[in-house]
Amino acid sequence: MKIIAYILAAILIFFGVLFIWGAFSPQGNPRWIPVGIVSVGIGFVIIWFASRRKNIPGEAPGTNVTVNVDLPGNVSMDTLKCKSCGGTLSPENIKMVAGAPVVTCPYCNTTYQLTEEPKW
Ligand SMILES: [Zn+2]
């Protein structure tokens, strides 16, 4: 889960920087700057939470089973985006299928697996 959080954070920071960058381009919109800053900020918060979680001793990897579906929602409830259309996904859109979290986008009806290698 930690790797996923880091990847998600990296994507957020990457797009955040792109937004800020794009705001200064000729066809850019200054309103992109706060969007970029928020995106980068959320990315850093995710990294902070992910690294903080690592420092908690006595938390066995097996305990991840209890959080299953909730975890992607908790980590990125406001930031989870559809890979196809970019629509914001809520935890209700995530279903456990054969032990893997599968996202069904309510906007474009795309169904895909949330993670390549689920830990639970
Ligand atoms: Zn979609």
Residues 54-80 have pLDDT tens digits of: 555 555 555 444 444 444 444 444 467
Closest of 17, 78, 69 to residue 42, by C-alpha: 78
Q: Does residue 24 or residue 116 have the better pLDDT?
A: 24
Q: CB within 5 A of ion ligand 1: which residues? A: 82, 84-85, 87, 105, 107-108, 110
Q: What is the pTM of this model?
A: 0.40
Is the separation of the CB atoms in 102 and 112 below 8 Å?
yes
pLDDT (tens digit per residue) in 83-119: 889 888 888 888 888 888 888 999 999 988 876 444 4
Task: Say which DSSP state 81 is in.
Answer: B
Give distance in angstroms: CA of 74 to centre of ligand 1: 20
The 3-state DSSP class for residue 102 equals strand
Give distance in angstroms: CA of 111 to centre of ligand 1: 9
Give distance in angstroms: CA of 115 to centre of ligand 1: 16
pLDDT (tens digit per residue) in 31-55: 889 999 999 999 999 999 888 765 5
Give distance in angstroms: CA of 110 to centre of ligand 1: 6
Closest of 97, 101, 104 to residue 117, by C-alpha: 101
The 3-state DSSP class for residue 107 equals coil
Give distance in angstroms: CA of 16 to centre of ligand 1: 20
Quick one: how far is CA 24 from the chain centroid? 26
* Measured CA distances, 61 to 1, 5, 98, 107 (Å): 10, 15, 20, 34
* Measured CA distances, 87 to 8, 37, 49, 64 (Å): 16, 19, 24, 27
